[in-house]
């Protein structure tokens, strides 16, 4: 083989290797973009659109052996947003069966129980999440969710003073306002 043929062969091999790397990079970009888009759609109250993107990302992740924990977390959030509490419970349980110390999976399971009106169970999962989180913002959110589950429990037990005390423990003003507005709606409808 001549030196020219060898150089051409090396160049062709290099192009093939580079293009396959570019293709895999583009797949990863698509994967990440779909997850980010789904997250935004969930934040804007578009769970059906989020579900489509998450399912597409899940397929890409399976084909390329990517870690899909984030997708699985977001799928639970999506099922909760759609009101599919049983499916959300099943998916959160799978996450916790895989990793009982998964802080966000514990938080998600707490949200499932909270939506089902099982406040003591919800509180237990929120406490587990609070203990497992490392970042202050996550710990604070979990603490707020503990207080929220206690609020609902006290309210359900007919103890509005205790409920009000738990409401004051919530640090996130948006969550505090949402609970206050919901409470006002209940009081207005009850009168």
What pLDDT shows up at residue 183? Answer: 67
Q: Which pLDDT value is given to residue 185?
A: 53
DSSP 8-77: HHHHHHHHHHHHHHHHHHHHHHHHHHHHHHHHHHHHTT-HHHHHHHHHHHHHHHHHHT---HHHHHHHHH
Which pLDDT value is given to residue 23? 60
Say whether both 95 and 171 belong to one domain: yes
Q: How many other CB atoms are found less than 10 A from the CB of residue 34?
A: 22
Same domain, 78 and 121: no
Residues 147 and 111 in one domain: yes
Residue-level pLDDT at 135:
95
Positions in the chain whose pLDDT score sits under 70:
1-23, 182-191
128 and 70, same structural domain? Answer: no
Q: What is the pLDDT of residue 191?
A: 43
Predicted confidence at residue 13, as pLDDT, reads 45
- Residue 29 burial (C-beta neighbours within 10 Å; 0-12, 13-18, 19+): exposed
* pTM of the predicted model as reported, rounded to 2 decimal places: 0.81
Q: What is the pLDDT of residues 109-121, one digit of tens each?
A: 999 999 999 999 9
**Which structural domain, as residue segments, surrounds residue 30?**
25-83
* Sign of the four-CA dihedral 42, 82, 164, 124: negative
191 and 139 inside one domain: yes
């Amino acid at each position: 083989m001549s030196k020219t043929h060898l150089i051409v062969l090396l160049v062709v091999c290099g192009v093939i290797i580079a293009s396959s790397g570019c293709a895999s990079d583009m797949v990863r970009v698509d994967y990440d973009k779909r997850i980010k888009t789904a997250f935004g759609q969930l934040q804007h109250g578009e769970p059906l659109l989020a579900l489509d993107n998450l399912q597409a990302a899940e397929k890409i992740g399976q084909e390329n052996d990517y870690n899909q924990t984030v997708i699985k977390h977001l799928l639970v959030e999506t099922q909760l947003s759609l009101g599919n509490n049983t499916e959300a419970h099943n998916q959160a349980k799978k996450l916790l069966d895989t990793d009982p110390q998964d802080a966000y999976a514990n938080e998600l399971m707490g949200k499932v129980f909270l939506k089902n009106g099982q406040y003591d169970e919800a509180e237990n999962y929120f406490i587990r999440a609070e203990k497992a989180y490392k970042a202050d913002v996550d710990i604070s959110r979990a603490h707020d969710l503990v207080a929220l589950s206690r609020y609902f429990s006290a309210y359900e037990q007919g103890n509005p003073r205790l409920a009000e005390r738990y409401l004051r423990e919530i640090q996130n003003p948006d969550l505090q306002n949402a609970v206050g507005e919901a409470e006002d709606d209940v009081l207005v409808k009850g009168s």
